[in-house]
């Protein structure tokens, strides 16, 4: 019939060879596409297995926002300014001004999200935390000396408010230390640079409690500081390294002495 394909016997050797090459090229294209598909599936599988195999503290994350820690610094500075003259630092404007300038410079350099380490920003952040620590420690020492000597603030309400302000500033300051020192700071944590953690949060050891991209932020470290200041011991977050244990020990001692002396003095004044 007219529509039937020509018999292969009627084709020339060159035509047969060309047809064979064309068919082989088609098969090669199909084989190549299959290889690419298999390789893509394999890469995704390897990546998924690798992500699950990596410990939580070695995974790369999106970092954390700058806003919570900035608000905490502003809160600490406000508490510092509100302290009565008896326990405040002189000149009263010095530490708040220095802290505000440092915070402003950090926000100008990195206003939104902390995604990678920066030696300059970390140095500024550590300096800021050290300033807040020195200022609050000086106020706490003045308050404790007055309490031991039965001097200074006499009104029970003012005494309790002053002790509460110093105690709350202490919680914020230690939260900042934990946040900045754990695994090299927020930038290094976002890149998963440290082989071992300083603090272990429950989400790190129980993956079913949080998504794979979970990373502790400042609020988590502030909670750690608050629970340590109230319970005088670790609660759900465990310190693993020596510096973490010693820092929590110092915070517990400071918190215990401040709370005990303030309450005892207030009760004594009321009597």
Q: What is the tens place of the pLDDT at every residue in 106-124?
A: 999 999 999 899 999 999 9
Backbone torsions φ then ψ of 31, nearest 5 degrees: -65, -40
The tokens of 96 are what?
Answer: 């708040």
pLDDT of residue 105: 95
Question: Residue 186: which of 237, 113, 111, 242 has the closest Cα?
Answer: 113
Three-class HEC string of the chain: CCCCCCCHHHCCHHHHHHHHHHHHHHHHHHHHHHHHHHHHHHHHHHHHHHHHHCCHHHCCCCCEECHHHHHHHHHHHHHHHHCCCCCCCCCCCHHHHHHHHHHHHHHHHCCCEECCCCHHHHHHHHHHHHHHHHHHHHHHHHHHHHHHHCCCCCCHHHHHHHHHHHHHHHHHHHHHHHHHHHHHCHHHHHHCCCCCCCEECHHHHCHHHCCCCCCCCHHHHHHHHHHHHHHCCCCCCEECCHHHHHHHHHHHHHHHHHHHHHHHHHHHHHC
Query: What residues pair up with 114 in beta bridges, in sequence order?
Result: 64
Between 186 and 49, the higher pLDDT residue? 186
Beta strands 199-200 and 238-239 are antiparallel
Could you tell me the end-to-end alpha-carbon distance of the chain, in angstroms, rounded to an integer?
A: 122
Q: Is the pTM of this model over 0.95?
A: no
Between 5 and 142, the higher pLDDT residue? 142
Of all residues in the chain, the percent with pLDDT exceeding 90 is 50
Q: How confident is the model at residue 46 (pLDDT cuts 50, 70, 90)?
A: very low
CA distances to 6, 7, 142, 154 from 3, rounded to whole Å, are: 9, 12, 107, 114
Q: Residue 30 above 60 pLDDT?
A: yes
What's the mean pLDDT when you consider all of the chain? 85
Q: Residue 5 above 60 pLDDT?
A: no
pLDDT of residue 232: 83
Q: What whole-number distance in Å separates Cα of residue 205 and Cα of residue 57?
A: 10
Lowest-pLDDT choice from 16-20, 140-144, 219-223 = 16-20
pLDDT of residue 37: 65
Q: What whole-number distance in Å separates Cα of residue 63 and Cα of residue 114?
A: 5
Which residues, including other chains, have CB under 8 Å from residue 252's CB and lie 6 or more apart? 228, 229, 232, 233
Domain boundaries, the chain: 8-53, 63-270
Span 241-261, pLDDT tens digits: 999 999 999 999 999 888 888
Span 163-199, pLDDT tens digits: 999 999 999 999 999 999 999 999 999 888 888 899 9
């Amino acid at each position: 019939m007219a529509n039937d394909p020509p018999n292969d016997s009627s084709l020339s050797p060159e035509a047969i060879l060309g047809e064979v090459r064309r068919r082989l090229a088609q098969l090669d294209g199909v084989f190549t596409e299959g290889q690419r598909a298999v390789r893509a599936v394999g890469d995704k599988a390897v990546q998924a297995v690798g992500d699950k195999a990596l410990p939580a503290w070695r995974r790369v994350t999106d970092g954390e926002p700058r806003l919570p820690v900035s608000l905490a610094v502003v809160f600490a500075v406000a508490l510092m300014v509100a302290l009565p003259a008896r326990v405040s630092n002189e000149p009263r404007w010095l530490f708040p001004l220095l802290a505000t300038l440092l915070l402003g410079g950090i926000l100008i350099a990195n206003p939104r999200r902390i995604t990678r380490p920066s030696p300059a920003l970390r140095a500024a952040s550590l300096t800021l935390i050290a300033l807040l620590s020195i200022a609050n420690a000086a106020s706490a020492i003045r308050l404790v000396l007055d309490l031991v000597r039965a001097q200074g603030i006499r009104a029970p309400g003012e005494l309790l408010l002053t002790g509460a302000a110093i105690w709350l500033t202490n919680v914020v300051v230690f939260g900042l230390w934990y946040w900045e020192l754990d695994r090299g700071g927020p930038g290094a944590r976002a890149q998963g640079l440290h082989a071992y953690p300083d603090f272990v949060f429950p989400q790190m050891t129980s993956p079913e409690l949080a998504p794979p991209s979970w990373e502790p932020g400042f609020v988590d470290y502030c909670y750690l500081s608050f629970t340590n200041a109230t319970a005088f011991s670790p609660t759900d977050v465990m310190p693993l390294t020596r510096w973490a244990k010693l820092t929590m020990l110092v915070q517990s001692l400071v918190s215990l002495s401040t709370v005990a002396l303030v309450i005892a003095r207030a009760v004594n004044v009321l009597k």
